[in-house]
């Protein structure tokens, strides 16, 4: 059982020959619309891997919100705690992806940026039966803080995906079990620019000192740097695939990791599983719809 608190946004994605410069209009296509947002992407990745997922977010009552609710139900998630606020819009993300699969993204969080302490407390009962809790930085700080406190209160190991990076009360980190920053977020968090294995090690040591026992820095196609305070840490390689669209890779990773840890697997085995989920995700266009199903991941891991 996995509980995810986080964002939902409708992705509006256009492929273009290059990313538009300020003031420039670029003609592109195709266009794709679908569910996204870090919370929803991670919840989808975990659910498709076979976890029972309780997902809490906040939507508007507009057409995007109604579509989102239907989507979560179709994915088999528990939607009992999702709130709809008629005074807010459902979040949107306008994504542009170029030929090299680089992207530019503008997000309007709308309702999911306004998740309150009370909204999170309403899920407390569900924390009690959860194996892993998962939260990102793409919602209100009070929602993030309350999630971390509830997980700690009920002794549920929590994965913090500190994305997109923002300032936050550092004492929260002492209640976090696993952190999954990418290179940029690890650099922001540690003050050490992460570009390779050596700098990842230094950054991981610094983050470890902040009170988190498991540091997992995702480094794109290089793989993942794992540090747990013993020895020097290690670089666990990514799988080699032909990447089409890397949006959602980090979300696939965190969702896959949550699933595998919740299923009781060892950390390194879970990282390998999460790497496979993320590798399959980057071979497809889109975010939540690009998350692979359990059978695909298992087949990929056997190859
Ligand atoms: P983010 O999407 O948050 O920037 P990363 O780029 O670090 O995160 O990617 C997260 C994970 O996705 C990586 O650790 C790796 O497992 C996988 N991944 C990302 N890009 C690729 C790629 N080109 N090929 C294979 N795996 C990839």
Tokens of 136: 């990102």
Checking if the pLDDT of 124 tops 90, the result is yes
Is residue 104 included in any domain, yes or no?
no
pLDDT at res. 286: 82
DSSP-derived 3-state class of residue 107: strand
pLDDT at res. 175: 98
> Any idea what the CATH number is for the domain that residue 276 is in?
3.40.1190.20
Is residue 252 included in any domain, yes or no?
yes
Is residue 26 included in any domain, yes or no?
no
* Residue-range definition of the domain harbouring residue 223: 2-7+38-56+112-302
pTM of the model: 0.94
pLDDT at res. 230: 83
Pocket residue to mutate for ligand 1, from 253, 274, 290, most atoms within 8 A of Cβ: 253
Residues 230 and 208: beta-carbon distance below 8 Å: no
Place of tokens 């695939």: 241
Maximum CA pair distance of the chain? Answer: 52
For a pLDDT cut of 90, what percent of the chain falls above it?
93
pLDDT at res. 77: 98
Average pLDDT of span 222-233: 93
Beta bridge partners of 33: 12
User: pLDDT tens across 183-206, in order?
Assistant: 999 999 999 999 999 999 999 999
User: pLDDT tens across 47-59, in order?
Assistant: 999 999 999 999 9
Measure the CA–CA gap between 190 and 203, rounded to whole angstroms.
5
Checking if the pLDDT of 244 tops 90, the result is no
Is residue 14 included in any domain, yes or no?
no
219 lines ligand 1 (CB under 6 A): yes
Checking if the pLDDT of 253 tops 90, the result is yes
Is residue 94 included in any domain, yes or no?
no
Checking if the pLDDT of 103 tops 90, the result is no
Tokens of 253: 């990773």
Phi-psi region of 210 (alpha: psi -120 to 50; beta: other; left: phi over 0): alpha
Checking if the pLDDT of 101 tops 90, the result is no
Is residue 257 included in any domain, yes or no?
yes
pLDDT at res. 196: 95
Checking if the pLDDT of 285 tops 90, the result is no
Residues 138 and 109: beta-carbon distance below 8 Å: yes
Is residue 180 included in any domain, yes or no?
yes
Measure the CA–CA gap between 85 and 108, rounded to whole angstroms.
15
Q: Is 251 exposed, middle or buried (0-12, 13-18, 19+ CB in 10 A)?
A: buried
Ligand 1 centre and the CA of 89: distance in Å?
30
Is residue 72 included in any domain, yes or no?
no
Q: Give the torsion sign (CA, 252, 76, 144, 63).
A: positive
204 lines ligand 1 (CB under 6 A): no
ipTM: 0.99
Q: How many domains does the chain have?
A: 1
Please, which pLDDT band fits residue 166 given cuts at 50, 70 and 90?
very high
Measure the CA–CA gap between 5 and 12, rounded to whole angstroms.
22
pLDDT at res. 246: 87
Average pLDDT of span 59-74: 97
Q: Is 117 exposed, middle or buried (0-12, 13-18, 19+ CB in 10 A)?
A: middle
pLDDT at res. 65: 97
Nearest to 275 by CA among 103, 4, 45: 45
Place of tokens 């699933």: 259
Q: Which amino acids are annotated catalytic?
A: 251
- Positions at the binding site for K(+): 245, 247, 281, 284, 286
Ligand 1 centre and the CA of 123: distance in Å?
31
Atom of ligand 1 nearest to the CA of 274: 16
Ligand 1 centre and the CA of 223: distance in Å?
7
């Amino acid at each position: 059982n996995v509980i995810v608190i986080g964002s939902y946004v409708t992705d509006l994605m256009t492929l273009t020959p290059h990313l538009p410069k300020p003031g420039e209009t670029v003609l592109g296509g195709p266009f794709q619309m679908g569910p996204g947002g870090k919370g929803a992407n991670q919840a989808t990745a975990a659910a498709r891997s076979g976890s029972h997922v309780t997902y809490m977010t906040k939507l508007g009552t507009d057409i995007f919100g109604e579509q989102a609710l239907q989507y979560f139900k179709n994915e088999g998630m528990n939607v009992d705690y999702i709130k709809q606020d008629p005074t807010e819009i459902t979040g949107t993300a306008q994504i542009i992806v170029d030929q090299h699969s680089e992207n530019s993204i503008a997000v309007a969080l709308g309702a999911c940026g306004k998740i309150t302490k009370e909204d999170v407390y309403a899920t407390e009962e569900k924390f009690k039966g959860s194996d892993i809790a998962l939260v990102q930085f793409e919602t209100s700080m009070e929602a993030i803080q309350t999630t971390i406190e509830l997980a700690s209160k009920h002794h549920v190991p929590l994965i913090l995906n500190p994305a997109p990076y923002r300032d936050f009360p550092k004492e929260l980190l002492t209640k976090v079990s696993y952190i999954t920053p990418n290179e940029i977020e690890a650099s922001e968090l540690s003050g050490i620019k992460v570009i390779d294995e050596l700098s990842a090690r230094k950054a991981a040591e610094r983050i470890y000192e902040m009170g988190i026992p498991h540091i997992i820095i995702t480094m794109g196609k290089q793989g993942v740097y794992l540090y747990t305070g013993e020895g020097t840490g290690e670089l666990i390689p990514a799988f080699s695939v032909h990447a089409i669209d890397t949006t959602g890779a980090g979300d696939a990773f965190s969702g896959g990791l949550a699933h595998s840890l919740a299923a009781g697997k060892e950390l390194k085995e879970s990282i390998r599983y999460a790497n496979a989920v993320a590798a399959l995700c980057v071979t497809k266009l889109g975010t939540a719809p690009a998350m692979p199903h359990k059978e695909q991941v298992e087949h990929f891991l056997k190859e």
